[in-house]
């Protein structure tokens, strides 16, 4: 069993991994950049080491520095989380070469599945249905135009090394080919250092439905069922749920078996995700494989009552899977909302900065995977996601009700967040009905805006209201202290500190 794990990441996922390590009696080691000295993962870990300046290219992506730190502190494993180096073949190889266990699949698997063209080839060989398209690199605009005609418009041009929805262009007619080809290639080069692009048929209004799988070092593979991830903005997931409200029980079983076959075809070891697109007629196609933990993994955990990080650590330590396929039963419904420091009224511009107040929701079936706290300054350098709000309930209907209530309770002031936008999604009739597709946010834009206007004050107003409440609470407390009203009631120190801090920030003296 691994004994000491370096977490080569930051934010909520670093906190998430540290928590599982602690439960397992494994020593956790945080790494931090200049911008993260005050981050929660640094405070929570058993040990923490500085690795460089704020830009991730100078810290969280510095392979040699991270390995050097892991060796120096005597760690025997590295958990890469998601993003950063989690799908970097060189990192996985160098960890193994240094005698450090990389908590993830083998480097060859990352390489094979990380390139979307070679992943498509592997899946076709394994008999897995893939989105119609080509399995080679496009060499010229002329070739792109020819392939588009062969496949038939609309098509989608994609970067072979793509991720995060970047390097993708929808082409609806021949006159769009040249511009799409040029811009997709340059975006791919600047984002991934690889300008290789290829073409797939564009599936109209598809559902993004993915299957979580687990494979051990002895060839055993199981799937942990599905996650519906069709609520997307610019091809990036915003809300996820499990089970999918769209697929039938029969299709679910069939897709699960395909996911296992896909993972077995590449001798998959660890936790991974097979992403599918499902069309209106319930045909499903392999989209890509993510060879790491997903942002949305908690919905699977909540439905099944499992800890995926623990499973990853057991597998990496060489243990055989302790669960059989027949042990995996979807007992509950779970929804996740990605809470981001973004201005929903201003094209979702990132809104980093100082957090004045955080009130996280709580109660039965409510989980917050977060890393921010009052007085914390969100750095400008990294992803704007500050927390994931996850709920579970016995039915989808109850899960939606619980999510609405939890979002109502969630208050973050000082920065702009998308909380009211997420709440509007939860009240949109198409979402409540289920069966929505990846065009949901576009189709419901007006309904969402109207709902927000009618039911939720803007973030600025909300901030003001929070401030007013805090001032009233502070005045009340000062009066209690002075004996102006009643007898002082002993207050929890945390609360007093918060008021004092608040008062100081607002320039109040004598507190
Ligand atoms: P990335 O790796 O950048 O996340 P994916 O290949 O996973 O890219 O696709 C992300 C999203 O883009 C999908 O969930 C879907 O909404 C859309 N998409 C990708 N390929 C297609 C396609 N062939 N047809 C329709 N939509 C697609």
pLDDT(195) > 50: yes
Q: What is the pLDDT of residue 461?
A: 43
Q: Where are the alpha helices (DSSP H) in 37-130?
A: 40-44, 63-72, 89-97, 107-114, 116-125
Tell me, yes or no, if the pTM score tops 0.85. Answer: yes
Q: Please tell me the distance between residue 236's alpha carbon and the centre of ligand 1 in angstroms.
A: 9
Q: Please tell me the distance between residue 237's alpha carbon and the centre of ligand 1 in angstroms.
A: 10
Query: Rounded to an integer, what distance in angstroms lies between the CA atom of residue 341 and that of residue 356?
Result: 13
Q: Is the CB of 119 under 6 A from ligand 1?
A: no
Q: What secondary structure does DSSP assign to 234-247, as a single string? A: TTEEEEEEES-SSS
Q: What secondary structure does DSSP assign to 259-280, as a single string? A: HHHHHHHTT--EEEEEEEEE-T
Q: What is the pLDDT of residue 481?
A: 66
Q: Please tell me the distance between residue 112's alpha carbon and the centre of ligand 1 in angstroms.
A: 18
User: Do residues 195 and 188 touch, judged by C-beta distance below 8 A?
Assistant: yes
Q: Hey, which of 235, 273, 441, 442 would you mutate to test ligand 1's pocket, going by the most ligand atoms within 8 Å of its Cβ?
A: 235
Q: Please tell me the distance between residue 198's alpha carbon and the centre of ligand 1 in angstroms.
A: 13
Q: What is the pLDDT of residue 164?
A: 86
H or E element that contains 388: strand 385-393
Query: Rounded to an integer, what distance in angstroms lies between the CA atom of residue 189 and that of residue 150?
Result: 26
Query: Rounded to an integer, what distance in angstroms lies between the CA atom of residue 450 and that of residue 472?
Result: 32
Residue with CA closest to ligand 1 atom 22 = 202
Q: Please tell me the distance between residue 210's alpha carbon and the centre of ligand 1 in angstroms.
A: 12
Q: Please tell me the distance between residue 235's alpha carbon and the centre of ligand 1 in angstroms.
A: 6
Res. 165 pLDDT band, cuts 50 70 90: confident
Q: What is the pLDDT of residue 166?
A: 87
Query: Rounded to an integer, what distance in angstroms lies between the CA atom of residue 426 and that of residue 405?
Result: 10
Q: Is the CB of 164 under 6 A from ligand 1?
A: yes
Q: What is the pLDDT of residue 387?
A: 98
Question: Closest ligand 1 atom, CA of 237?
Answer: 14
Query: Rounded to an integer, what distance in angstroms lies between the CA atom of residue 88 and that of residue 111?
Result: 8
Average pLDDT over the chain reads 92
CA angle 285, 290, 295 (to 5 degrees): 115
Token pair 């949305």 in the structure block, residue: 296
H helix and E strand count, the chain: 18, 22
Query: Rounded to an integer, what distance in angstroms lies between the CA atom of residue 103 and that of residue 317?
Result: 9
Report the pLDDT averaged over residues 450-470.
66
Residues 369-426 pLDDT 10s: 999 999 999 999 999 999 999 999 999 999 999 999 999 999 999 999 999 999 999 9
Q: Where are the alpha helices (DSSP H) in 284-367?
A: 297-304, 308-316
Q: Please tell me the distance between residue 287's alpha carbon and the centre of ligand 1 in angstroms.
A: 7
Q: Which CATH superfamily is domain 132-201 in?
A: ATP-grasp fold, A domain (3.30.1490.20)
pLDDT(473) > 70: no
Numbered ranges of CATH 3.30.1490.20 in the chain = 132-201
Residue of 489 and 281 predicted with greater confidence: 281
Q: Which of 10, 16, 185, 292 is catalytic?
A: 292
Report the pLDDT averaged over residues 11-24.
98
Numbered ranges of CATH 3.40.50.20 in the chain = 4-103
Positive or negative: CA dihedral 52, 55, 60, 61: negative
Q: Is the CB of 132 under 6 A from ligand 1?
A: no
3-state secondary structure of 106: coil
Q: Hey, which of 155, 170, 208 would you mutate to test ligand 1's pocket, going by the most ligand atoms within 8 Å of its Cβ?
A: 208
Q: What is the pLDDT of residue 293?
A: 98
Q: Is the CB of 159 under 6 A from ligand 1?
A: no
pLDDT(184) > 60: yes
Report the pLDDT averaged over residues 139-167.
93
Question: Closest ligand 1 atom, CA of 133?
Answer: 23
Q: What is the pLDDT of residue 78?
A: 98
Strand partners, 389: 337, 368
pLDDT(137) > 60: yes
Structural fold of domain 4-103 = Rossmann fold (3.40.50)
Q: Hey, which of 165, 194, 290 would you mutate to test ligand 1's pocket, going by the most ligand atoms within 8 Å of its Cβ?
A: 165
pLDDT(199) > 90: yes
Pair of tokens at residue 353: 């900065």
Question: Closest ligand 1 atom, CA of 168?
Answer: 3
Pair of tokens at residue 420: 């009211």
Residue 131 CA from chain centroid, whole number: 24
| φ/ψ (deg, to 5) at 175 | -70, -15
Long-range pairs for 409-412 at CB < 8 Å and ≥24 separation?
A: 409/359, 409/360, 409/361, 409/362, 410/339, 410/359, 410/360, 410/361, 411/357, 411/358, 411/359, 411/462, 411/466, 412/339, 412/355, 412/357, 412/358, 412/359, 412/372, 412/386
pLDDT(484) > 70: no
Positive or negative: CA dihedral 456, 462, 464, 466: positive
Report the pLDDT averaged over residues 108-118.
96
Q: Hey, which of 83, 168, 202 would you mutate to test ligand 1's pocket, going by the most ligand atoms within 8 Å of its Cβ?
A: 168
Query: Rounded to an integer, what distance in angstroms lies between the CA atom of residue 220 and that of residue 319?
Result: 11
Examine the residue annotation and report whether 292 is marked as an active-site residue of this protein: yes
């Amino acid at each position: 069993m691994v004994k000491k794990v370096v977490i080569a990441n930051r934010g909520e996922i670093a906190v998430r991994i540290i928590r599982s390590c602690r439960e397992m009696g494994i020593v956790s080691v945080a790494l931090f950049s200049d911008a993260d000295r005050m981050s929660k993962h640094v405070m929570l870990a058993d040990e923490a080491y500085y690795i460089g300046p704020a830009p991730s290219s100078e810290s969280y992506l510095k392979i040699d520095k991270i390995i050097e730190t892991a060796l120096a502190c005597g760690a025997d494993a590295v958990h890469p989380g998601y993003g950063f180096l989690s799908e970097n073949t060189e990192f996985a190889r160098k960890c193994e070469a240094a005698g450090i266990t990389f908590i993830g699949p083998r480097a060859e698997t990352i390489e094979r599945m990380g390139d979307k063209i070679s992943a498509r080839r592997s899946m076709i060989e394994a008999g897995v249905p893939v989105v119609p398209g080509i399995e080679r690199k496009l060499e010229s605009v002329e070739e792109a135009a020819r392939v588009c005609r062969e496949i038939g418009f609309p098509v989608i041009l994609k970067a072979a090394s793509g991720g995060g929805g970047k390097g993708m262009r929808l082409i609806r007619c021949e006159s769009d080919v040249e511009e799409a080809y040029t811009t997709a290639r340059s975006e791919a080069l600047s984002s991934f250092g690889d300008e290789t692009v290829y073409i797939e048929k564009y599936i109209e209004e598809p559902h993004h439905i993915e299957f979580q799988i687990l494979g051990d070092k002895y060839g055993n593979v199981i799937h942990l069922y599905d996650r519906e991830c069709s609520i997307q903005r610019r091809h990036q997931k915003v809300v996820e749920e499990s089970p999918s409200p769209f697929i039938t029980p029969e299709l679910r079983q069939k897709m699960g078996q395909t996911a296992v076959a896909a993972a077995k075809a590449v001798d998959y070891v660890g936790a991974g995700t097979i992403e599918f697109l499902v069309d209106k007629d319930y045909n499903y196609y392999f989209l890509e494989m993510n060879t790491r933990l997903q942002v949305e993994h908690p919905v699977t955990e909540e439905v099944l009552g499992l800890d995926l990080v623990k499973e990853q650590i057991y597998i990496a330590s060489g243990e055989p899977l302790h669960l059989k396929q027949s042990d995996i039963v979807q007992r509950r419904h779970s929804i996740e909302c990605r809470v981001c420091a973004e201005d929903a009224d201003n094209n979702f511009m990132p809104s980093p900065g100082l957090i004045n107040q955080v009130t996280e929701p709580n109660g039965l079936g409510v989980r917050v995977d977060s890393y921010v706290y009052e007085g914390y300054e969100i750095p400008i350098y990294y992803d704007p996601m500050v927390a994931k709000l996850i709920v579970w309930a016995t039915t989808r209907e109850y899960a939606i009700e619980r999510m609405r209530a939890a979002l109502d309770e969630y208050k973050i002031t000082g920065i702009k967040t998308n909380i009211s936008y997420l709440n509007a999604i939860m009240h949109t009739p198409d979402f409540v009905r289920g069966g929505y597709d990846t065009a949901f946010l576009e189709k419901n834009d007006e309904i969402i805006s109207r709902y927000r206007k009618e039911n939720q004050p803007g973030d600025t107003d909300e901030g003001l209201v929070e401030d007013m409440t805090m001032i009233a609470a502070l005045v009340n407390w000062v009066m209690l202290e002075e004996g102006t009203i009643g007898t002082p009631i002993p207050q929890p120190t945390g609360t007093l500190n918060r008021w004092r801090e608040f008062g100081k920030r607002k320039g109040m003296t004598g507190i």
